[in-house]
Amino acid sequence: MTVGAPKLKGQSSVETVEVVMPDGSVRAFPRGTPLSAIAEAADPALARRAIAALLDGVEKDIYWPLEGGGRIEFITPESPRALEIYRHTTSHLLANAVKDLFPEVKIGIGPATEEGFFYDFERREPFTPEDLERIEARMRAIKERDLPIRRIEQPKEEALAYFRRLGDNLKVELVSEKGGPVVSCYRQGEFMDFCTGPHLPSTGRIGAFKLLSLAGAYWKGSEENQQLQRIYGTAFPTDARLQEHLRLLEEAKKRDHRKLGPALDLFSVEETAGPGLIFWHPNGTIVRQVMEDFWKEEHRRRGYQMVTTPHIARDELWRMSGHFEYYRENMYTFEIEESGYVIKPMNCPGHSLIYKSRLRSYRELPIRYAELGTVYRYERSGVLHGMMRVRGFTQDDAHIYCTREQILDEIKGVLDLVITFLKTFGYDRYEVDLSVRDATHPERYAGNADGWKMAEDALVQALQSRGLSYTRREGEAVFYGPKIDVRMFDAIGRPWQGPTVQFDFNLPQRLGIQYIAPDGSQTPVVMVHRAIYGSLERFVGGLVEHYAGSFPVWLAPVQAVVMPITDRTRDYAREVQRILRQAGLRCDLDERSEKIGAKIRDAQLKKVPFMLIAGDREAQARTVSVRSRREGDLGPMGLLAIRDRMVQMNAGRVPGP
């Protein structure tokens, strides 16, 4: 068994190893030197702040003994990697507190997440909000004890025996399945958990934290397993960062599309029909159609051809494409006349069949097929989430078939399209990932080394030509090719999954997708998948939260509402509505016998961009009193003036009001 760093005996006789220090210098240290001592040698101030280390890019506990040479870096509270360590350590603190207060509880898993952390527990009685308060208080007490947190490496059987003695059957199962011959655990005081780490060196180093909510969760995410109780929390190195995060969480609640969507009559999920299926209401359908019209306009302008493919196809097609083998568990299948069929889970095989419907010459390439195609995929009910995670959705799919010589220009064109869409919808901040294969395991990927190099080079050159910085993600490519993924950041700084561009070496090979080259030979095409919205459902859900439901004029379901003050001005109000509608604007008329203040409040709640008030004075002067959702009272404006202003904002896709 290994616990922490071993004591050194006679360092003069101990073998030394060379380490590349953070400043680039090379220094020799005795093998077994704690990494904290190396930090002290580099900079005492750094040593006081360091919470973990990176040795040749591999995370290590700060107290762990140096086992071999390499480049060393130190993780401090400000480092990008630090947050995960704080949160993971705090999840162990949560489990420790729960076991102290409720010894009968069985503990499951407790990972860090993008938003914080969670831990799953098996307990007969449900946790209550009052329990959360007690647990959080216990966590603070354990933190104050400043218990050392130490990694323990032991034979697998010893770890299994330990958790069996405790009766923690979930941990026994995890160690049995995931543990190697030597198992790593982390101990703080009397509490020990199975984990690969790393962690903070003591409970006293844990920063600010807060328990947030309770939820149910199935063991290992499978509905066939027992249901557990999940406690969510979040943690940060400082209280200031925690408080800012909690403020953003409150803001996020106000923007939650699952509340705003139904409130604005955009969509609903109907229990009678089943979970994960979106019903678009009239207002939501307007938003969707405006987005579709914009999408079609931009794609036609860039040489894409619109296609439409069936919603079902024989399972033989999906076996040929390889999807049946890799995605069978996510497909809906059924039989017709003793033949197996699949409800379409993706559009690419259908587009490829259209391409293959006749021989194609190199003179026809590139061919760009685009479709707003509705697809269906099985998702567990526990992961369904409003419009963000559904079972039926519409992909804005397109597939490009071209030659190797054309691919760079095609990728550039896709990136230009991506940037156009991001700017149009007000996503001013975004980040780009380049996901490439793990070159040490080529057997995991379709295609050959030359093809992968060509694809990666094309993606890199295209990104560089557009001045887009990116993060290279080694080993995160899909099996059929490298890809570019874009994360969009909304108005309160949250990332959303955005556009994607993917090479595909698999489908051309499996389906024999070729073209006739100048020399008459049949040559495999270069195939690219790309989506800008990704799915209309997810994109609209994100837009609702990005805009907090206050869509810009061009997207708003109702762009203006006309409000007559008295019955005498109803005819004039109807004329105003008619003139605006004739100009192509979406204008409603509020003829209710309500005071004008109530009408204005209702329009504000519905987040209508413009309120046009028509009284006797306005009718006589052929004006309207204009109130903007964003700017407030704008005073009287001529009827044609407000019409032209709104037409201009609509046509120009102006971001406000």
Tens digits of per-residue pLDDT, 88-110? Answer: 999 999 999 999 999 999 999 99
Cβ-based neighbours of 593, under 8 Å, separated by 6 or more: none
pLDDT tens across 55-69, in order?
A: 998 999 999 999 888
Pick the catalytic residue from 299, 529, 538, 627: 529
What values do phi and psi take at 597, rounded to 5?
-60, -40
What pLDDT is recorded for position 438?
Answer: 87
pLDDT band for position 450 (cuts 50, 70, 90): confident
pLDDT band for position 580 (cuts 50, 70, 90): very high
- State the amino acid at position 501 in one-letter form: V
Sign for the CA dihedral angle at 189, 193, 143, 40 comes to positive
What pLDDT is recorded for position 518?
Answer: 96
Topology alike, domains 82-254 and 560-651: no
Fold of 82-254: Threonyl-tRNA Synthetase; Chain A, domain 2 (3.30.980)
What pLDDT is recorded for position 423?
Answer: 94
Q: Per-residue pLDDT for 2 more than 50?
A: no
Kindly list the distances between the CA atom of residue 335 and the CA atoms of 315, 317, 338, in Å, as whole numbers in the listed order: 9, 14, 6
Fold of 560-651: Rossmann fold (3.40.50)
What pLDDT is recorded for position 479?
Answer: 83
What values do phi and psi take at 218, rounded to 5?
-85, 145
The residues with which 488 forms a beta bridge, in sequence order, are 430, 496
- Regarding predicted confidence, which is higher, 4 or 93? 93
What pLDDT is recorded for position 326?
Answer: 79
H-type alpha helices, 112-256: 129-144, 156-166, 169-178, 239-255
Q: Where are the domains of the chain?
A: 2-75, 82-254, 285-546, 560-651
Pick the catalytic residue from 193, 315, 397, 590: 397
Pick the catalytic residue from 399, 510, 546, 643: 399
- Contact between 332 and 494 (Cβ < 8 Å): no
- Contact between 536 and 393 (Cβ < 8 Å): yes
Per cent of the chain over pLDDT 90 is 86
Pick the catalytic residue from 88, 150, 437, 483: 483
Tell me, yes or no, if 399 is annotated catalytic.
yes
Region 10-25 average pLDDT: 79
pLDDT band for position 328 (cuts 50, 70, 90): confident
CATH 3.10.20.30 fits 2-75, yes or no: yes
Domain at 285-546: CATH architecture: 2-Layer Sandwich (3.30)
What pLDDT is recorded for position 9?
Answer: 44
Q: Per-residue pLDDT for 586 more than 70?
A: yes
What pLDDT is recorded for position 5?
Answer: 44
Tell me, yes or no, if 538 is annotated catalytic.
no
The secondary structure of 517-535, three-state, reads CCCCCEEECEEEEEECCCC
pLDDT tens across 471-498, in order?
A: 999 888 888 889 999 999 999 999 999 9
Q: At 540, which helix (H) or strand (E)? A: helix 536-546
What pLDDT is recorded for position 14?
Answer: 66
What pLDDT is recorded for position 7?
Answer: 44
* Mean model confidence pLDDT for the chain: 93
Q: Per-residue pLDDT for 1 more than 60?
A: no
- Contact between 594 and 606 (Cβ < 8 Å): no
What pLDDT is recorded for position 13?
Answer: 58
Tell me, yes or no, if 395 is annotated catalytic.
yes
pLDDT tens across 409-428, in order?
A: 999 999 999 999 999 999 99
pLDDT tens across 360-372, in order?
A: 999 999 999 999 9
Pick the catalytic residue from 88, 138, 199, 377: 377
Region 532-555 average pLDDT: 96
Pick the catalytic residue from 154, 229, 395, 502: 395
pLDDT band for position 4 (cuts 50, 70, 90): very low
The residues with which 474 forms a beta bridge, in sequence order, are 436
pLDDT tens across 222-274, in order?
A: 778 999 999 999 999 999 999 999 999 999 999 999 999 999 999 999 999 99
Q: Per-residue pLDDT for 8 more than 60?
A: no
Tell me, yes or no, if 377 is annotated catalytic.
yes
Region 275-282 average pLDDT: 96
What pLDDT is recorded for position 3?
Answer: 46
Tell me, yes or no, if 397 is annotated catalytic.
yes
pLDDT tens across 451-467, in order?
A: 888 989 999 999 999 99
Pick the catalytic residue from 185, 195, 348, 587: 348
Strand pairing of 560-564 and 610-614?
parallel
